[in-house]
Amino acid sequence: MAHRKAGGSAKNLRDSNPKYLGTKLYEGQNAKAGSVIIRQRGSRIMAGKNVGVGKDYTLFALKEGTVKFGTRRKTNYDGKTAVKKVVHVI
Q: What is the pLDDT of residues 27-46, one digit of tens each?
A: 999 999 999 999 999 999 99
Residues contacting residue 75 through CB under 8 Å, at least 6 positions apart:
81, 82
Picking from 51, 47, 69, the residue whose alpha carbon sits closest to that of residue 61 is 51
- Label residue 57 left, alpha or beta by phi (over 0 means left) and psi (-120 to 50 means alpha): left
Domain boundaries, the chain: 22-89
Class of the CATH domain delimited by 22-89: mainly beta
Picking from 56, 47, 58, the residue whose alpha carbon sits closest to that of residue 84 is 47
Q: What is the CA radius of gyration of the chain?
A: 21
Query: CA-to-CA distance for 39 and 86, rounded, in angstroms?
Result: 14
**pLDDT tens per residue across span 56-84:** 999 999 999 999 999 999 888 888 898 99
Which pTM does this prediction carry? 0.81
